[in-house]
Each structure stands twice: as C-alpha cells, then as structure tokens.
Amino acid sequence: MGELREPLSELLKCGLPQALEVMGERWSFMILRASFNGLHHFEEFLSELGIARNILSNRLAKLVEHGILKREPCADDRRKIEYRLTEKGFDLLPAMLALRQWGQKYGAEFEENPVLVDERDRMPIGPVSILAHDGRILSHEDLWMTMRENVGKRPDDPEFIPLEARSAGSVTDLEEARKRAAS
C-alpha cells in the first residue's frame, strides 16, 4: 500500500475505530442482520436471536443512539414500538455482506440456505469488492496511501488537479481520462 502508513495510534482520525465503537461486537451485528431480515419488535429479536433481554435492550438503545435504527410507534398499536433501519443502517449492508461472505469462505463448511440472490434474475450475488472510482475491481495490491493534497496526483501526470481545486460532486469524464491514460 505504498510507503505511507496511517497513523495507527490516532483513533479519532480513522473511520474503523469509530465504526467498531458502535458495531464492534457480535450482538449488534446479529440485531442488524435480523433487521435486514424484517424483524422490528423487541419480542421478535428476543425470541429469534436467543439474546438475553438486558443485552438486547442495551444494544437496541446503542443502535438507536447512533442513528442506525430508529424507534417508531407501531401503526396498529401506538403503545408498541418498532425498530426500523435508518439510511445509516442500510449503509451498513455492504459491510454485513462482506463479513458474511468472508465467514462463508473461511468458516466451517456449510451449504447456505436460503441463498442471497439478485432480485432481478435470482442469481447469487457476487463477492463484495473494492471498486476504483471508474468501477475497476481492486485487490490489496492495487491500493495505495497518499496525503489528501496528493489525491489524484501521479508522478507521471503533469495534468494533475488537486482535490481542493475540484468542485464537490464534480464528474470525471471517463473517456477523456482513459485517453490520457493510454497516451
């Protein structure tokens, strides 16, 4: 990943320690998995997961506190509470799928059933991948660390535009970038 390393002791300057603070234990992931599978009520989580009541209560509160789940009154009985995934919660799906696929690859052998498939053609989903800005699939060998001011800069690219000079949400002309790369 190059000559540059992340400052590993600076826990607040990296998203991983912050994510682990919220999600870094088994029951939070199991509750999230149950939410993705359509569970919404405390008693459903309790019976389906086999989790202790106090642990479930604590984890649900933490997931709500961090905006991953939201508490809503049930439409049919306003005295009951439902736990619903937020956009922030749905954004954890790729991480959940990556962990699931890793467990299937390196865990105990078992045949997955039911199988997670693409809704359109009902074929199993592909492996979660690291994608480049242009959609190329990357491996660990393709990754490189660089300082923010050097994002997009290559030693052999005289047309480098610093990140700060680019407008937010600007679009890269991929055809033009490919032509430049080929020349």
- Supply 4's token pair: 């540059």
| Whether pLDDT at 174 is above 60 | no
| Whether pLDDT at 5 is above 80 | no
What tens digit of pLDDT does each residue of 61-82 get? 999 999 999 999 988 888 889 9
Dist CA 84 CA 91 (whole Å) = 13
pLDDT (0 to 100) of residue 178 = 58
What is the average pLDDT across 146-153?
83
Q: Is residue 169 packed enough to be buried (19+ CB in 10 Å), middle (13-18) or exposed (0-12)?
A: exposed
pLDDT (0 to 100) of residue 84 = 97
| Whether pLDDT at 6 is above 80 | no
What tens digit of pLDDT does each residue of 22-71 get? 888 899 999 999 999 999 999 999 999 999 999 999 999 999 999 999 99
Range with top average pLDDT, 103-112, 148-157, 168-177? 103-112
| Whether pLDDT at 164 is above 60 | no
